[in-house]
Structure 1
């Protein structure tokens, strides 16, 4: 009987500077790292390679096995149902491609997860789908520095008022949260600002950040109506500097 494939799901924050000692030790122990390749000049794949190179094992840095990422329907204006269906199909296709590599190579593999694996990331779900295809897989998960944690640190704030809660959601569901009476919201996985529905929220306070911890980091804060015109240029500046862009914000009712 073949030995089970071991997978280590590792939270890496936003780059080498955020890798914890625990994750660094795990990186030095793996045989290879599986990583989605979204394009021929995928800047996030290059950043994953930099993380791996910064933590070589006894035989040098682990191999990075780039797996072409399956296409996904990213049409603007998708309903919630169609969006969730598109993401499920995408995850299924990813799991099939990863399972093929894992069957061939065996050993110990790692996935490097931006931020923390517990928050708006589906690597754990995909590993479970790999197991569902009959592959004998044993895996563990190590935490990383989350994007909301970085946002709070950069703006030197607490994410909630004393004794109050913070609601974490996606940009596409922002208005759902507002309609439910929630008034302290962290929004992640956001569309470009021009596609974000912020109607009725212009007097709220925003703490916004893009590419936190990366060279192209951008920060803005203030009354949303005043900050909103500057968001597209700040987001574009982050993408131009780093070759990719991820942004999030805290929005609080006055």
Structure 2
């Protein structure tokens, strides 16, 4: 049986690699390294740097191009499922070609494989294709942890719950019920502009953990437009942006 290790590598700083993550990558026979287009070449460069400069061994590195998700699919989940199927097919082919029958293969996962990430779902699709793999997960520092650490704030208020959601759900369904703190991920449209700003504070971060890190915080009514403008300019400068924010009602 082949061992497939999904290794969380944090959000852009190689110093955030755990000892477990380094050990798992060093003992892999093959590391699969995704390329997500020229505009996100920095993400591939970080993974290459880890393989080249951090590891004390030299696993075989096999690079592959990510398929592009069809954003025009009428149903969002249909488009995502088709995209995941395409990735599972690519993974299966690469594993069959490059990994010995009882060998090990690893993927470096941005942040953590378990929090708003699809690598575990893709691994399930590889299993569904009949490939004999044993999936291991190595947790990593998440962008949410980096955001709260960078702003030096606790995630929750005293004894209160937090809801982690997406920009799509915040935009379509509004503020979740019965919580005063909402963490928003996967938001490409600044969905906070669609909610009532009264009494809401925002802590926002772009490229958290990376040298390009940008942090802004303040009352949403005041800082919201600033965040939108900053985000637009940063995306134009880099060709891409990954950001996350925390909203809290006073």
TM-score by length of 1: 0.88
TM alignment of 1:7-46, pairs within 5 A: 7-15=4-12, 16-40=14-38, 42-46=41-45
SS in 1 for 2:212: coil
Q: Is the 8 A contact 1:216 1:242 kept in 2?
A: no
User: What SS is found at the alignment partner of 2:175?
Assistant: helix
Q: In terms of mean alpha carbon deviation, does 166-175 or 27-36 score higher?
A: 27-36
1:217-236 equivalent positions in 2, closer than 5 A: 217-236=213-232
2:49 aligns with 50
SS at match of 2:54: coil
- Within 5 Å, give how 1:176-187 maps onto structure 2: 176=173, 178=175, 180-187=177-184
CA distance in 1, matches of 2:229, 2:128: 44
Q: How does 1:94-133 map to 2 (within 5 A)?
A: 94-106=87-99, 107-133=103-129
Alignment match, 2:65: 68
Question: How has the CA–CA distance of structure 1 residues 54 and 177 changed in structure 2, closer, same or farther, with 3 Å as cutoff?
Answer: farther
Cα RMSD (Å): 2.0
Counterpart residue number, 2:79: 86
**Counterpart Cα distance in 1 of 2:242 and 2:162:** 20
CA distance in 2, matches of 1:243, 1:179: 32
2:83 alignment partner, SS class:
helix
Structure 1 contact 190–196 (Cα < 8 Å) conserved: no
> Is the CA contact 1:43–1:242 (under 8 Å) kept in the aligned structure 2?
no
Q: Distance in 2 between matches of 1:24 and 1:101?
A: 22
Contact 1:43–1:243 (8 Å) recurs in 2: no
* Counterpart secondary structure, 1:54: helix
Q: Determine if contact 2:175/2:195 at 8 Å carries over to the other structure.
A: no
- Is the Cα–Cα contact under 8 Å of residues 28 and 55 in structure 1 kept in the other structure? no
For residues 126-182 of structure 1, what are the alpha-carbon distances to aligned partners after superposition, in whole Å with 9 as ceiling and x for unaligned? 111111111111121011001111111011111111000010000111142515343
Unmatched segments (≥5 aa) in structure 2: none
Aligned-residue offset at 1:111: 1.0
Quote the offset at 1:215 in angstroms. Answer: 1.0
Q: Aligned pairs, how many?
A: 244
